[in-house]
Structure 1
Amino acid sequence: MKQTRIAVIGGGAIGRTHAVAIRDCPGTELAAIVDPFEAGAALAGELEALHLTELDALFDTRIDGAVIATPNALHVPQATMLIEAGIPVLVEKPLGENAAACRALVSLSEHTGVPGLVGHHRRHNPIIRAAKCAIEDGRFGALVSGTISATLHKADSYFDVAWRREKGSGGPVLINLIHEIDLVRHLFGEIGEVFAMASNDRRGFEVEDTAVILLRLSGGGMVTVALTDAGVGPWCWDTTAGENLARFPAMPAVSHMFAGTRAGMSLPDLSFWTHDGPADWTVPQVNRPLEIVPMDSYVKQIRHFAAVIAGEERPRITLADGAANIAVIEAIRTSVAQRRPVAPDLTGQDAERQTMVE
């Protein structure tokens, strides 16, 4: 069987995760690691892959696709170079630093016919797929309210990398909240309005370390998000879902709670609460957890990328989805600055979800 050769641009922590997933995914081969630093060279050596220091050198190598796992500011420029060269891309989240640049990348992909995906890997996780199924088949009902906690205390050394402290590329709103925005849009549809407050009191950087965000869904329902990279607590997807145990622990807590008109659901434990009788707060509820078969979401994501490269599937998380997520982030930033509700500007964006049957 012909192997799909995929290169990884960026040899940091998330680049390693993608490179290992390529190695572990049947039918794919790690073609190269592109990174100018020693960490990239060490990763290439460990995984017995070609090491390149410049992106241009990749064009002299036979590859079928590339994963971009570099600092946020490089995502759009590098994706542009690769798409112009006819190479399909999987771009780590966030797709870019601003919606305008992301929209330009969407247009380039549409014009050239070269596909692009965004690395919101949670959509490939069986936990999220089970939750989505419960919503789509009507068991959950319509969203009424939701509460999301993203409490992820980051060590001081994390911020030794300058861009993580700088406006435009750093801060938990762009780096971490982007996952929650994509998840809410995936499960419940478009976000029509946001209201947010943020603070940098704990770390004192240019960027925020704490934020509280209210999301009003276009189709009805509201979700609140409490976000911090300076507070201690287990209530975060990364530290409870167990999907990347090489980097994060899996603690027995929940990070997401959603109330529907027919059921209540929490993640990642997939508790699914319904009344044992009439739907009344005085009547006991029964938890019948949703069932899944555990799978590696990063390997699933690479398998899907290979299928897109082969023309067998359409992108599940499109570049347009990535651009829409950034538009919501920009609305949140505007809301923080102007202290008012803001409607995301989704003008000219087709963020249709395109889920393929496997």
Structure 2
Amino acid sequence: MERGTEEAAERRRVRLAVIGLGMIGKVHAQFASRLDECELAAVCDTDRSREKFSQELKTAFYTDYRVMLEREALDGVIVALPNEAHESAGSACVERGVHLFVEKPIAPTVEAAARLIERAAKNRVQLLVGHHRRFNPLVEAARQIIRGGELGSLLGVSVLCGFYKPAEYFIAGPWRKEKGGGPVLLNLIHEIDTLRYLCGEITRVYAEVSHKGRNFPVEDTVSVSLRFENDTVASMLLTDTAPSQWAYECTTGENLFFYQTKENCCHFFGTEASLDFPGLNKVYYADPNRRGWQHPLSIRKTGVSTANSYQRQLAHFCRVVSGEESPRTSGIDGQRTLIAIEAVLTSGQTRQPVLLEP
């Protein structure tokens, strides 16, 4: 069992349940069964074959989350269902006064997100959106470097995200071939949210999308140009149908399910220094009197202790439920990321830039 702080051991453990035992739902359930801060009271999935998984975790199994919510005394629920079910399942939780942790995206549409946020506020429960990268120590360190001014004024960002989703990924989830199940909503949303967390709010989006790789109804490749409120610009390229060693998943070591490489997937360029990620190598001129492309550069690496971001996010949710912390990614924050993602999809369809309200 993972050990928490002495204070966590002394406080009452929060009772949690997980709705949806797909790939990410199982991750949440496994951590919830091991953390000292919480008790995994139940799990729910419409697929009865997944009851065996609940037996391994020694927790109750349900096929209907409404029945689970009625029978179990829960403090919080993690919703890890397909995007289209986030609003309905999340609403069922908050309307019973149960604190909610909903996987990204917060909802399938901005309007659905607004309704869920309103219901959570009306019922006075906390709403956390599952953008787990915000809890990665590498991301936290990059945020401190960037927002702390070590790079000077941030000028631009380059993001590469390439990987190959195998056939069984789509066999296990046929909905991933349909509208709402493509890499923009499932993968690019992570990149967008991470950049918002590191660089600030996005004000302008232009995107080109392609179905060339798989010819599914949803996109498989997207190129995005962003402008931030501080006039920083960024370029992003994502594809889920190409062998690649440049992606967050395979460079950070966060999830060892993915083949790991030693490459960097992001580069941040500032007036005083530049930074690669996840390497966290800062490139700068050591002598302020010798600046220019003809002068030598210095490189300084920031050392960071690794920790599992999913576990840290879940521990944070327990503290949110206990009233000790506010959600790091609130419903409104998750909605802002979704607004930017919808702008990507709109721009890709219209081939026109989209302006975002501040």
Structure-1-length-normalised TM-score: 0.93
The separation in 2 between residues aligned to 1:284 and 1:65, in whole angstroms, is 54
The alpha carbon displacement at 1:151 in A equals 0.4
Counterpart position of 2:270: 260
Which of 209, 215, 220 in structure 1 is aligned with 2:226? 215
Which of 217, 230, 251 in structure 2 is aligned with 1:240? 251
The alpha carbon displacement at 1:250 in A equals 2.3
After superposition, where does 1:2-21 map in structure 2 within 5 Å? 2-21=12-31
The separation in 1 between residues aligned to 2:231 and 2:50, in whole angstroms, is 46
The alpha carbon displacement at 1:324 in A equals 0.9
The alpha carbon displacement at 1:128 in A equals 0.6
The alpha carbon displacement at 1:39 in A equals 4.7
Q: Is the 8 A contact 1:215 1:222 kept in 2?
A: yes
Q: Is the 8 A contact 1:11 1:39 kept in 2?
A: no
After superposition, where does 1:40-119 map in structure 2 within 5 Å? 40-59=50-69, 60-119=71-130
Deviation string for 1:35-74 (max 9, x for gaps)?
1214531221121111111101222112210111111111
Q: Which runs of 5+ in 2 are unaligned?
A: 1-9
Counterpart position of 2:4: none
Q: Is the 8 A contact 2:136 2:307 kept in 1?
A: yes
Q: Which amino acid aligns with 2:285?
A: H
Counterpart position of 2:5: none
The separation in 2 between residues aligned to 1:336 and 1:321, in whole angstroms, is 23
Counterpart position of 1:298: 310
Q: Which amino acid aligns with 2:93?
A: L
The separation in 2 between residues aligned to 1:285 and 1:76, in whole angstroms, is 51
Helix, strand or coil at the partner of 1:176: helix
Counterpart position of 2:152: 141
Counterpart position of 1:350: none
How many aligned positions are there?
A: 344
Deviation string for 1:153-180 (max 9, x for gaps)?
100121122210111x211111100001
The separation in 2 between residues aligned to 1:295 and 1:89, in whole angstroms, is 24
- Single out whichever of 337-346 and 188-197 deviates more from structure 2: 337-346
The alpha carbon displacement at 1:279 in A equals 3.4
Structure 1 residues 40, 142: closer, same or farther in 2, change over 3 A? farther
The alpha carbon displacement at 1:193 in A equals 0.2
Counterpart position of 1:354: none
The separation in 1 between residues aligned to 2:192 and 2:198, in whole angstroms, is 10
Q: Which runs of 5+ in 1 are unaligned?
A: 347-358
Counterpart position of 1:37: 47
CA RMSD of aligned residues (A): 1.3
Q: Is the 8 A contact 1:34 1:51 kept in 2?
A: yes
- Residue identity over aligned pairs, in percent, reads 36
The alpha carbon displacement at 1:289 in A equals 1.2
Q: Is the 8 A contact 2:134 2:194 kept in 1?
A: yes
Counterpart position of 2:236: 225
Residue 186 of structure 1 pairs with residue 188 of structure 2: no
Q: Which amino acid aligns with 2:76?
A: G
Q: Is the 8 A contact 2:100 2:126 kept in 1?
A: yes
Q: Is the 8 A contact 1:152 1:231 kept in 2?
A: yes
Which of 342, 348, 352 in structure 1 is aligned with 2:354? 342
Q: Is the 8 A contact 2:203 2:357 kept in 1?
A: no
The separation in 2 between residues aligned to 1:144 and 1:15, in whole angstroms, is 38
The separation in 1 between residues aligned to 2:254 and 2:270, in whole angstroms, is 26
Counterpart position of 1:312: 324
The separation in 1 between residues aligned to 2:291 and 2:57, in whole angstroms, is 55
Deviation string for 1:156-214 (max 9, x for gaps)?
121122210111x2111111000011111111111000111011011011011101000
